[in-house]
Structure 1
């Protein structure tokens, strides 16, 4: 009897983020004053060498359709080690990548993106620019051939004579892109980048199928993500350009996606990448796109999960989660703010800030200063504010931190930095972000300061859209209720 080994794709998911602060920042603070928090200086530095993973501290609002998520640069990561350089992520490089990413998203929001990505050649090249990632430590397999505890496959579903094996793949969660993808064989180096996990092999999956050129699924790519067709195989080709030096191209395909025993997506559409441009950090296998356009994981699962998803970005020494669907219990309280969708660029999720409170006092800026809105983005690192708002925040923060002057040298676009080497502990003013509808993010020190700097920056101009960075989103469950038209926040969720 012939025995064939079938292989599925297990996605270990990452969420872009800086992950450079201690998991203890803000925990067990001594409140010298109700508007300040006193924390050890060490908690405002990079992840200490002796930091250890404290395991999964997740409380997802959806008790079934969720998977754990880790910081790629932290001790809980499955893709990093203390011997590698990825623990010591360079903040300057990370902020450069952040500026490139947010600048490109602004370009998409301000112009017709019908031709974005089309016709761009993929030429392998390396870059030292690094970004901030989170990964799901236990996620999805593509294919019905899984033999791990994450699979819903049972022995009576296995065809006679076939053995099922699972291949783990680590991918980045991205709320500002629409096409999920992983590197697939054939995938020669350097056209493809090195990754921790073996390359996904379509030939070993019984449920893999390429999408044909004339199919509705191929047409959905349009000129934004379509890259023509194979003249010999009639296979649909895709391309995604991220605007920060990174891009991917290959064949658009389907397979069965299993993210957990309760999250199974049949005929899941994703890019089978045969070439990339730029360096995708931490040797991950690809991107899990959660944007608002057709083709993203959100849109492919909208009917089954109510057109909603949430995540909790953890501190580096613990774990967060990604959840499909909304809360299963009405008693779980979220503070909501309206979701603003741009019909021309539906990929992005925009919210409206109304005020900022520093050390108990609201910044004195007119409401019109916030008029451009802000993109909720899993990949943006620091929160970017309109220049008048940032100037007021900077003035208030520097005044509250006067005891730690003079200022240290700026780090990239972070211009309010301090040298804390003389101080065993630091008194940090409380900062809260107030959104339309009253939803408020009360930030802990790890969400206020990044490597000794105020983790906020100014946008390029008063008319430029802002960003809510993932540094500020840490420990909150952020619910993207697209069907309900809101973004929700639940504190202390991970």
Structure 2
């Protein structure tokens, strides 16, 4: 497999995404740091912080993995999580907490009030466009809220302000929706308004987003004619402040949770969209966006080009979606790894970057990869990426093909972008074979990943964006 090492153009060639082959509601999906990202076109782009270093990205990635492992280890399901969290444990600097190149979409929230010429109040259908991070490993959607002194305050026209939305409702403490948050996400009761609290995984101190749990209209469509949905979410009054660990950067407004809990967007819209969603994350070098689909063809086997594997769940941690990896092949040759090594399964995550493998599987993959890359000069490790190369002077590099073999005879051949990351093998190891693996977004890029949550299957379609 050839991989060009020449830098790609930084310009976006257009914001029109490849239209997905589904009947559901869809929006373009961007890489947060990519040339087509809403952040790149922001008026604040000139003041944006410089891109994070690879070391920063890997630190943040490990904190994300540690959070998933903590959730699983506290579930009492016999899941093994080592006390040694991983090789990257030091706190990440606040300015890169959410600057990983993660998948983002734009949605419209609310229906803004405006004062008529006569001084009366009138409502307009359009709300405020917000850029949110797609997160398949969290349950409670939330956005940062600008709290104005009055409904006519216009100091932050780009921020969501519940006081300016004619359709916003703060949910009562005794409401069914508040009770649904449960002990994990429910906060205190303030003026009979339900409060939520969710951890921000990128902080070693488990910083959190907290505020009022409410409802408003959500428009999630490239075609606004598709209308708006009633949507419950957290109106964040307090994350860690700008400059503290856990803060969001100024180009994203919050998180669109897609996990398996009852609070997620997928669960909230199940009656309309049938508990199905998909996304395609574009390649790092791509100058066009991917897509996110809510609903559509829930059965991946009904569409051409999909390979399908069963979707597994944890009974005590319904947030996470899991698949069973059985084997790995390099250049068409299956590695000699006993299937029992993969028994803990692998969590699918849209925000973890680098795929985590059981140590036994990773060491075998690394050996096979290094043997096929022996003609290239080795480079020092980068964080927990220990198989790196110096391609100085090379124009084209022959990268070994890697395929993941899942239960159900589903063979997923990775795009070349999912094999090398910053000139390093884009996989790393867990500290114990008994720990669940994590399938990260570097390996998922360019393929559509279709979650048929209601039907219990996951479909992968190569070359979708």
TM-score, normalising length: structure 2: 0.85
Tell me the CA shift for residue 368 of structure 1. 0.7
| Residues 164 and 326 of structure 1, relative CA distance in 2, 3 Å threshold | closer
Q: Of the candidates 129, 135, 142, which is equivalent to residue 104 of structure 2?
A: 135
Distance 2:142 2:188 in 1: 17
Tell me the CA shift for residue 243 of structure 1. 3.5
Corresponding residue of 1:244: 202
Tell me the CA shift for residue 80 of structure 1. 2.5
Report matched runs for 1:35-434 at 5 Å: 37-42=1-6, 48=8, 50-80=10-40, 83=46, 88-112=51-75, 126-129=94-97, 130-136=99-105, 139-145=106-112, 161-163=122-124, 165-186=126-147, 198-230=158-190, 233-245=191-203, 246-260=207-221, 261=224, 264=227, 266-277=229-240, 278-281=246-249, 283-316=251-284, 317-327=287-297, 330-405=302-377, 407-434=378-405
Tell me the CA shift for residue 144 of structure 1. 4.0
SS of 1:172 mapped into structure 2: strand
Distance 2:181 2:122 in 1: 38
Corresponding residue of 2:420: 449
Residues 259-311 of structure 1: per-residue CA shift (max 9 Å, x gap): 12365554310000011021324531100000000110000011111111101
Cα RMSD (Å): 2.5
Determine if contact 1:377/1:468 at 8 Å carries over to the other structure: yes
Distance 1:55 1:94 in 2: 26
Residue 480 (str. 1) matches residue 451 (str. 2): yes
Tell me the CA shift for residue 197 of structure 1. 7.3
Residues 322-370 of structure 1: per-residue CA shift (max 9 Å, x gap): 1011428944332110111011000000101111111221111111111
Determine if contact 2:110/2:128 at 8 Å carries over to the other structure: no
Distance 1:161 1:327 in 2: 39
Determine if contact 2:404/2:411 at 8 Å carries over to the other structure: yes
Distance 1:337 1:84 in 2: 45
Distance 2:361 2:113 in 1: 51
Tell me the CA shift for residue 140 of structure 1. 2.5
Determine if contact 1:65/1:262 at 8 Å carries over to the other structure: no
Residues 217-242 of structure 1: per-residue CA shift (max 9 Å, x gap): 10011110001100xx2100000013
| Residues 331 and 126 of structure 1, relative CA distance in 2, 3 Å threshold | closer
Determine if contact 2:273/2:295 at 8 Å carries over to the other structure: yes
Distance 2:230 2:248 in 1: 26
Determine if contact 1:385/1:467 at 8 Å carries over to the other structure: yes
Corresponding residue of 1:19: none
Tell me the CA shift for residue 112 of structure 1. 3.3
Q: Tell me the number of residue pairs that the alignment of Structure 1 and Structure 2 aligns.
A: 420
Determine if contact 1:86/1:282 at 8 Å carries over to the other structure: no
Q: Which consecutive unaligned segments of at least 5 residues does structure 1 have? A: 1-36, 114-124, 148-158, 189-195
Determine if contact 2:131/2:254 at 8 Å carries over to the other structure: yes
| Residues 333 and 41 of structure 1, relative CA distance in 2, 3 Å threshold | closer
Q: Which consecutive unaligned segments of at least 5 residues does structure 2 have? A: 77-92, 115-119, 150-155, 241-245
| Residues 466 and 421 of structure 1, relative CA distance in 2, 3 Å threshold | same
Determine if contact 1:326/1:481 at 8 Å carries over to the other structure: no
Residues 177-210 of structure 1: per-residue CA shift (max 9 Å, x gap): 011111112289xxxxxxx972211111111000
Tell me the CA shift for residue 54 of structure 1. 4.5
